[in-house]
Structure 1
Amino acid sequence: MSSEKKIHYIKHAQIDSKKWNQCIDGALNCRIYAYDWHLDRTAIEWDALVYGDYEYVMPLPFRKKLGIKYLYQPLFSQQLGIFPTPSKAIFDAFIAATKDRFKYADVQLNALNIPGENNGDIFFERKNYLLSLTKDFKSIISGYSKNTKRNIAKAQKQDLTIIEGIRIEAYLEFKAKNLPPGVDPSAVDKLKSIIAYGAYKGFGKIYGVYTPGNDLCAAVYFCHWKDRVIYFNASSNEEGKNSGAMYYLINRFIEDNAEKNLLLDFEGSMIPGVERFYAGFGAKPETYFHLKYNRLPLLFKWLKR
């Protein structure tokens, strides 16, 4: 790390949008979640650490509680961290600068942000799941699990219909009716903004599965960015789950995109059942790290338990 260059804390209003996005766009570890337009829709409030003239950057999504500012991971943003891929010295410097500014952090880095052994107490492994679509469809399905093949076969008998490019309004209405427990309904508004932007720019599309009665029972918003297609957001109702509609949809998507230079990014999960679902399509785990520490004064530690 050059002694002439420093890491600066830059407030959101002072961030150079053009230089920021150029840095993310040119990074080997580029992730769509780190562009300013995505952060503005998900984090709402975020500042940044910037090294040199935007040679390395790190978004800092934050919230405040009782006047204390802390870092958190915004919804619909799987991996953030440092961009581009940092050396050990750059990585350590960014983490040190983060700890200087924030007494509490609970954020996820990207897969090419790898901590050293000396600070392992604040980093925790997480798993993403990736499936290469470069092979032909027959080769890809040979990697499916027996359970996945069984569910696809079951779905194929249900007279389901897959529609590519369903309306945003139809998806959001369906999503709102089938929110997982604990998810705030306001999350749908953020999702609407993200999907609308993706549709406007032409890199996002929603696939829907309809029952014989023409009712939507499962849907996925796929986001195509560079060499990745992200399984960005999905929803099923009970009928969709019982019929295996999501297996049917993903299998069709894989068939449509086989032999392309693409990675299907499932975004991963630490929930065993969801992990099995992704792995069932032959997706392979990729490790990324969760940065979490709590150095709040004893009086305040209870705030973030």
Structure 2
Amino acid sequence: MPPRLLRYSELDLAAWDACVAAAQEVVPYAQSWWLRATAGRWEASVEIEQGTGQYLSVLPLPTKWRLSGSEVYQPAFTQQLGLLTLPDSKYSTVQLHLRHLPNRYARCYTQLNDQMHLPSLELPFTCQTRITYHLSLHPIYAVVHAGYAADYRRRLRLNQELPVPLTVANAFGVEEMLTLFRQHSGEAAGLKSRHYQQLLALYAALQQHGQALPLEVRAPETGELLAAALFIRFRTRLVYLFAAASPAGKKVGAPLLVLDYIIQRHAGTPDLVLDFEGGMIKSIARFFANFGATPVPYAALSFTQRPWYLQWIR
């Protein structure tokens, strides 16, 4: 059956999550409870198998209403969405799902997943290439560690030589991490109060589904939080979702310790990939590349239609 555009009330969320869990593309952000936490409601282009009702392919379309009409947008804490397909899908190219969109939406901006080929599209769509960084955790830790920049290896060694080295531990929540981020980075990042509430709701859902890995580094003498990060484990992806550090934490290399810890803990896992979830800013890209991570492209698609009240103008 050809893909259909379905509203949120028409979606079978059990069939949706079954498709996401078995899809050829590994996209944690497309899980229904993730989208509920970050977008609330969404629409989708869905290929449904006749007779069984199984979802064979899904294209999530988070939407919001504006005066110009309904528009598709990319929610916070949802780096990639795009098309997810089962092997039996007959509509496994994103173009077949996108063709409906200009008829329903006034505007669209959506970031596809990095496991899709960059699409060739006709107007009104435009396509931009974005970059994330990946590190394979299939090799054992000694091999991955050897790929670090020399300065990173030196800083890790010097930390171990301290009388009381800094150590990474499991965190019991993310509230203190969010406070730290808000104090030192929140304004520059442009996050509003609603974004912190979204992340708290998402963290609660991640905890419930056993996918959250929160870590922290504290000063040994005072217990002051120096750095913290929230990682996500979903199938063959480990995602560096959110992180915060104080100026003192950056000075002593606490973010480096957090990432080295998660790499050491998961290295040697077949097919596992650490997605650093960023790389568009040069300084951040350099930080990730120093772990041996490599750039991976993905597409951002968009279009803007004229408002309905201007459609008559030629």
User: TM-score of the superposition, structure 1-length normalised?
Assistant: 0.88
Q: Does residue 294 of structure 1 match 2:290?
A: no
* Cα distance change on mapping 1:112 and 1:255 into 2, 3 Å: closer
Q: Provide the residue aligned with 1:265 in structure 2.
A: 275
* Cα distance change on mapping 1:274 and 1:37 into 2, 3 Å: same
Q: Does residue 225 of structure 1 match 2:229?
A: no
In structure 1, what residue type is equivalent to 2:253? G
Worse overlay, 139-148 or 277-286: 139-148
Look up the SS of the partner of 2:100 in the other structure: helix
Q: Provide the residue aligned with 1:249 in structure 2.
A: 258
Unaligned runs of 5+ in 2: 50-54
In structure 1, what residue type is equivalent to 2:31? Y
In structure 2, what residue type is equivalent to 1:280? N
* Cα distance change on mapping 1:299 and 1:285 into 2, 3 Å: farther
Q: Provide the residue aligned with 1:276 in structure 2.
A: 286
1:63-102 correspondence to structure 2 within 5 Å:
63-66=64-67, 68-84=69-85, 90-102=93-105
| One of 15, 19, 29 as aligned partner of 2:11 | 15
Q: CA deviation at 1:174?
A: 2.9
CA distance in 1, matches of 2:39, 2:73: 9
Q: Provide the residue aligned with 1:197 in structure 2.
A: 205
Instruction: State how many pairs are aligned.
Output: 297
Quick check: 1:176–1:185 contact (8 Å CA) kept in 2? no
Q: Does residue 138 of structure 1 match 2:142?
A: yes
Identity among equivalent pairs (%): 27
CA distance in 2, matches of 1:117, 1:216: 47
CA distance in 2, matches of 1:297, 1:102: 10
Q: Does residue 174 of structure 1 match 2:180?
A: yes
Q: CA deviation at 1:241?
A: 1.4
CA distance in 2, matches of 1:285, 1:295: 33
* Cα distance change on mapping 1:88 and 1:37 into 2, 3 Å: closer
| One of 147, 166, 169 as aligned partner of 1:160 | 166
Q: Provide the residue aligned with 2:196 in structure 1.
A: 188
Q: Provide the residue aligned with 1:31 in structure 2.
A: 27
In structure 2, what residue type is equivalent to 1:161? T
Quick check: 1:166–1:208 contact (8 Å CA) kept in 2? no
Quick check: 1:43–1:74 contact (8 Å CA) kept in 2? yes
In structure 2, what residue type is equivalent to 1:70? E
Quick check: 1:33–1:39 contact (8 Å CA) kept in 2? yes
In structure 1, what residue type is equivalent to 2:21? D
In structure 1, what residue type is equivalent to 2:281? I
Q: Provide the residue aligned with 1:303 in structure 2.
A: none
Look up the SS of the partner of 1:240 in the other structure: helix
- Could you give the per-residue CA deviations for residues 204-246 of structure 1, whole angstroms, max 9, x where no partner exists? 1211011132100100111111111111111111111121110
Q: CA deviation at 1:87?
A: 7.4
| One of 38, 42, 49 as aligned partner of 1:42 | 38
Look up the SS of the partner of 1:21 in the other structure: helix
Q: Cα RMSD (Å) of the superposition? A: 2.5
In structure 1, what residue type is equivalent to 2:57? Y
CA distance in 2, matches of 1:70, 1:108: 14
In structure 2, what residue type is equivalent to 1:139? V
CA distance in 1, matches of 2:119, 2:35: 27
* Cα distance change on mapping 1:33 and 1:203 into 2, 3 Å: same
User: TM-score of the superposition, structure 2-length normalised?
Assistant: 0.86
In structure 1, what residue type is equivalent to 2:129? E
CA distance in 2, matches of 1:72, 1:155: 43
Worse overlay, 256-265 or 232-241: 256-265
Q: CA deviation at 1:150?
A: 4.5
CA distance in 2, matches of 1:67, 1:113: 30
Q: Does residue 208 of structure 1 match 2:209?
A: no
Unaligned runs of 5+ in 1: 301-305
